[in-house]
């Protein structure tokens, strides 16, 4: 029996198939273009495994509809990516492949991946952020996603602009929210070069660390999770995580006793595989649950 995973990102899709123990059998990746073109690639990949495929887990860019009683459950809804607005993602998969589909956000999937197979193993509560093209956040508590009328949109929390930062933020909805101030494109627009081309001692990293530390501060006081995992392209700067830990400690001022910061604030153990691993684990879960 095989499980399928689809990490549907705004920039690229990653599809994978695993065996029953979630060992990867095959994985492919391609750019996100139009729904028609991209879904043909997705379906062509999974059709090869249709005989053995028991279920698929999808972690999608969003916002998405996760309300099971909604007429548009399984749709990507109000995304800024116009071609994908109101796209029936789950319906398209179900029709073509006739297997159960687990459906959540891309960042929830990555959070679940770390929860089952990364730094979250053995813990009850994990919060995961990705700081990349956008900023997204997800939370798992006792194996379930934290959600209400919809999924969280933690990447758009409001922050205080840093004293030394004149950039007003580039979120089309909120200007200076976390994503508008700290995502990769905000760095590039502010400084005229890509984040990966700044030197490790560029003074901007203090400002970036301050924004991420505000996010960690808010997250700590809202959820008191056992761990906060910080992933995405921008966190690939090795000097950034220590700066975030320091800035967070400076802000919190010992108000609550968190776990030791070197264990509390981590980059993902699964690195770029957190999302796909989470999707595969969600596929397995939905298949196992349907049999119970
Ligand atoms: P996505 O969010 O599209 O899934 P990434 O998480 O790789 O993909 O995020 C891409 C963003 O991260 C870009 O804005 C890019 O400039 C930035 N980025 C990628 N690699 C690095 C790096 N090594 N250092 C700093 N920024 C990076
Ligand atoms: Zn915003």
pLDDT tens sequence across 13-41: 999 999 999 999 999 999 999 999 999 99
Beta bridge partner(s), residue 141 = 125, 144
* Overall size of the chain counted in residues: 292
The alpha carbon of 250 and the centre of ligand 2 are apart by a number of angstroms equal to: 25
What is the rounded distance in angstroms from the CA atom of residue 138 to the CA atom of residue 80? Answer: 20
pLDDT tens sequence across 214-265: 999 999 999 999 999 999 999 999 999 999 999 999 999 999 999 999 999 9
Answer whether residue 292 shows pLDDT above 80.
Answer: no
The alpha carbon of 105 and the centre of ligand 2 are apart by a number of angstroms equal to: 17
The alpha carbon of 130 and the centre of ligand 1 are apart by a number of angstroms equal to: 10
How many C-beta neighbours within 10 Å does residue 141 have? 15
> Nearest to residue 135, comparing CAs of 170, 87, 97, 94?
170
Answer whether residue 291 shows pLDDT above 90.
Answer: no
Question: Where residue 80 falls among pLDDT bands split at 50, 70, 90?
Answer: confident
What is the rounded distance in angstroms from the CA atom of residue 53 to the CA atom of residue 113? Answer: 20
Ligand 1 pocket at CB < 6 A: 9-11, 130, 132-133, 184-185, 194-196, 232-234, 236-237
Q: Which residues surround ligand 2, an ion (CB under 5 A)?
A: 156, 171, 173-174, 177
Answer whether residue 178 shows pLDDT above 90.
Answer: yes
What is the rounded distance in angstroms from the CA atom of residue 261 to the CA atom of residue 263? Answer: 5
């Amino acid at each position: 029996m095989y499980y399928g995973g689809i990490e549907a990102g705004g920039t690229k899709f990653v599809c994978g198939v695993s065996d029953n123990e979630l060992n990867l059998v095959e994985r492919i990746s391609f750019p996100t273009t139009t729904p028609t073109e991209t879904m043909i690639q997705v379906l062509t990949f999974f059709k090869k495994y249709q005989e053995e495929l028991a279920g698929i887990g999808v972690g999608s860019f969003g916002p998405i509809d996760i309300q099971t009683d909604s007429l548009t459950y399984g749709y990507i809804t109000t995304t800024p990516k116009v071609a994908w607005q109101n796209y029936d993602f789950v319906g398209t998969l179900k029709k073509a492949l006739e297997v159960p589909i687990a459906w959540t956000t891309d960042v929830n999937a990555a959070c679940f991946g770390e929860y089952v197979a990364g730094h979250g193993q053995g813990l009850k509560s994990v919060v995961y952020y990705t700081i990349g093209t956008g900023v997204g956040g997800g939370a798992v508590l006792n194996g379930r996603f934290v959600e209400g009328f919809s999924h969280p949109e933690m990447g758009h929390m409001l922050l205080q602009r840093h004293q030394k930062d004149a950039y007003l933020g580039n979120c089309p909805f909120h200007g200076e929210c976390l994503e508008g101030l700290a995502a990769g494109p905000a760095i590039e627009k502010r400084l005229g070069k890509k984040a990966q081309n700044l030197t490790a001692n560029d003074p901007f990293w203090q400002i970036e660390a301050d924004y991420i530390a505000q996010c960690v501060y808010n997250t700590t006081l809202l959820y008191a999770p056992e761990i906060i995992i910080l992933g995405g392209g921008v966190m690939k700067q090795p000097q950034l995580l220590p700066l975030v830990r320091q800035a967070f400690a400076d802000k919190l001022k010992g108000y609550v006793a968190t776990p030791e910061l070197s264990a509390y604030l981590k980059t993902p153990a699964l690195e770029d595989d957190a999302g796909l691993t989470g999707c595969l684990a969600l596929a397995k879960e939905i298949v196992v649950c349907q049999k119970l």
